[in-house]
Amino acid sequence: MAALGGDGLRLLSVSRPERQPESAALGGPGPGLCCWVSVFSCLSLACSYVGSLYVWKSELPRDHPAVIKRRFTSVLVVSSLSPLCVLLWRELTGIQPGTSLLTLMGFRLEGIFPAALLPLLLTMILFLGPLMQLSMDCPCDLADRLKVVLAPRSWARCLTDMRWLRNQVIAPLTEELVFRACMLPMLAPCTGLGPAVFTCPLFFGVAHFHHIFEQLRFRQSSVGSIFLSAAFQFSYTAVFGAYTAFLFIRTGHLIGPVLCHSFCNYMGFPAVCAALEHPQRRLLLAGYALGVGFFLLLLQPLTDPKLYGSLPLCVLLERAGDSEAPLCS
């Protein structure tokens, strides 16, 4: 954090197309102070989001329907108010992105169909191995699975399941809104797009540490196991956050990260150990390897900004004179 006031981070001027000295870029606070404003705003959002989960006192576990319903209310309130934090940040820093706040946060119609489909397809390719594993372990055939998926009764059952709504709808929507759509526009002018991809997920990963308190409270495991699990969860949520931040910047849409988040919540972390012990482990391991290989091969083509129109965050940096942002081309 101490590096925020030094040369490692830069605040981009967006008041005129030509570069200005950093000290006069905004006609207000210096670049170090403005970077601190950005970091403090992101930290405040993260704390508000996690804190909203604990405004309700209850002796019940987090998966109880009554607890989930109460948390829906508080999280939706915080998420609905989160754009106000971006608005306040804009006023405090003097940054004018040259586009509407909603557009900057990924709410736009231009390129929405590829933005919804292609990132989800890319993520499903990455999960080729786990999808094969799920298919092999499911006793029903493809036709039966399609009937279940398409049956209105199945969807009605899902919509009344509080855990399903939390994992597939509310958590992906609110977390991507707060931790991607609100935080990235505030961090990018300070750090640049590349570092923002790796800085933003740190707030997302740390926000998941609150699960430690609930596990300790209900003594669900030993203290060592709980902290080891929390460290592991921080690691993969940070990696996942970097991936959805990359998708948000490259597509300029919120819908892609939300759908990918929902899909990953459904799939869970890949059961690699189970795959190693599976009767058809060679086929499964080949699926895992092919999925990762094709994912890396298609990552750039399927997120090519040309498919999605003008990208708001890239426009913001172009107005600042940073027309060579690598993620914008």
Q: Structure tokens of 60?
A: 């019940």
Q: Minimal CA–CA distance to 249: which of 315, 323, 321? A: 315
Distance between CA 5 and CA 94 in Å, rounded? 18
Q: Minimal CA–CA distance to 177: which of 106, 239, 242, 251? A: 106
Cα 79 → chain centroid: 14
Contact criterion met (CB below 8 Å) for 162 and 296? no
Contact criterion met (CB below 8 Å) for 244 and 205? no
- For the residues of 84-131, what is the DSSP string, one character each? HHHHHHHHHH----SS-HHHHTT---TTHHHHHHHHHHHHHHHTHHHH
In the DSSP assignment, the letter for residue 30 is -
Residue that the structure tokens 């708001």 belong to: 312
Cα maximum dimension of the chain: 67
| Count of beta carbons in the 10 Å neighbourhood of residue 323 | 12
Q: Minimal CA–CA distance to 186: which of 17, 309, 3, 4? A: 4
Contact criterion met (CB below 8 Å) for 60 and 67? yes
| Count of beta carbons in the 10 Å neighbourhood of residue 166 | 22
List active site positions: 175, 208
